[in-house]
Amino acid sequence: METLRTRAPAKINLTLRIVRRRTDGFHDLASLVVFSGAADLLSLTPDAALSLAVKGRTAAAAGPDADNLVLRAARAFAAEVPGARLGAFLLEKRLPVAAGLGGGSSDAAAALRLLGRLNGLAPDDPRLFAAARATGSDVPVCLDPRARLMEGVGDVLSPPLALPPLAGVLVNCGVAVPTAAVFRQLGLSPGAAFDGPSLPAVLPSGRAELMAAIAAVPNDLEPPAVAVAPKIAEVIDRLAAQPEARLVRMSGSGATVFALTDDCRAAAALARRVLAAQPDWWVKPTILR
């Protein structure tokens, strides 16, 4: 059988509310999630010994191959599907690491999609979702990478949302931000709730109205992430000063920041200007959907 291939797109949290810290130490959240055209690439050579090779510009930052979520996902799949066919994975890292883009989770979800195809599973087979949950909290939403509301610890997902495509720019300044450090800075004690605004029960279908709804609900992890990595504030300020930027916010636990624009042309112009001023930054104009 020929090599199977898929993309592992970046996950963007347009909003991210931390609802409470549970008594088990995990945090319940509510987030509007979309996916970017920017992606890692994953291939699977069927029926070889289970293995992973990583290449690409951010491969070194991804850590030891043996610790990669791709292999953890493959082992979780094998536990759910006894006798499953596995194989050798090749991951080309294009996304920044520890960047608030769910790169590792999206890679893991991509591995599950490839293994599902190899073993003849339907895309909605519950064993895929079970393996995703066992792999990591952000993996389930990446399994079928379409816009959704994500709640709980990432395990409660809405049906796919018919949002209008949003043009924007993703910017990462090269500072890795460990998620655990950001949650420690947030400082919620077990059982404590974190009040704040919520998205409307029915999201607007118009682009302008949707942008306004998103703007009204923050990313609660942005202030603690800035405290951990102050350079994030520099990125936010630089993007907010650009004439094309309509909404600027950090994604996930950082450090990637996005700026939404009116259209693709405005996003491309903003990206060129930022990259000219900061050639060492990772800058990607994209469509979020």
253 annotated to a ligand binding site? no
Question: Does the active-site annotation cover 138?
Answer: yes
Q: What is the β-pairing status of strands 51-56 and 87-93?
A: parallel
- Which is the catalytic residue, given 11, 40, 107, 220? 11
Residue among 37, 90, 95, 36 nearest 62 (CA): 95
205 annotated to a ligand binding site? no
Q: What is the DSSP letter of 241?
A: T
102 annotated to a ligand binding site? yes
Which stretches within the chain are classed as H helix?
A: 69-80, 103-118, 126-135, 139-143, 179-186, 207-215, 222-228, 231-240, 264-277
136 annotated to a ligand binding site? no
105 annotated to a ligand binding site? yes
88 annotated to a ligand binding site? no
Dihedrals phi, psi of 252, to nearest 5 degrees: 55, -135
Question: Does the active-site annotation cover 284?
Answer: no
- Which is the catalytic residue, given 40, 93, 107, 138? 138
The burial class, CB within 10 Å (0-12 / 13-18 / 19+), for 82 is: exposed
96 annotated to a ligand binding site? yes
Question: Are the beta carbons of 98 and 13 closer than 8 angstroms?
Answer: no
**How far apart are the C-alpha atoms of 183 and 196, rounded to whole Å?**
17
140 annotated to a ligand binding site? no
Question: Are the beta carbons of 40 and 81 closer than 8 angstroms?
Answer: no
98 annotated to a ligand binding site? yes
Output the known binding site. 96-106
Q: Residues marked as binding for ATP? A: 96-106
Would you please indicate which residues are annotated as catalytic (active-site) residues? 11, 138
